[in-house]
Amino acid sequence: QDLGQDQLVIAPDYPGLGQSDRPERALDIADHADIMAEVLIAAGWGPEGRGPVDVCGYHTGAFISTELALRHPALVRKLVLIGIPFYEGAERVERHEKLGKVRPLPNLFAALEQDWTFAVAKRAKGVALERGFENFIESAAAWQNRSRIYGAVFQYPAEQRAPLLMHPTLVLNPHGNLQEPTQAFAS
Rounded to two decimals, what is the model's pTM? Answer: 0.88
- Express each pLDDT in 55-112 by its tens digit: 999 999 999 999 999 999 999 999 999 999 999 999 999 999 999 988 888 888 888 8
Residue 72 CB coordination number (10 Å):
19
Comparison of pLDDT for 13 and 171, the residue scoring more = 171
- Express each pLDDT in 17-39 by its tens digit: 877 888 888 899 999 999 999 99
Comparison of pLDDT for 112 and 128, the residue scoring more = 128
CA distance linking residue 138 with residue 162, whole number of Å: 30
- Surface-to-core class of residue 130, CB atoms within 10 Å of its CB (0-12 exposed, 13-18 middle, 19+ buried): exposed
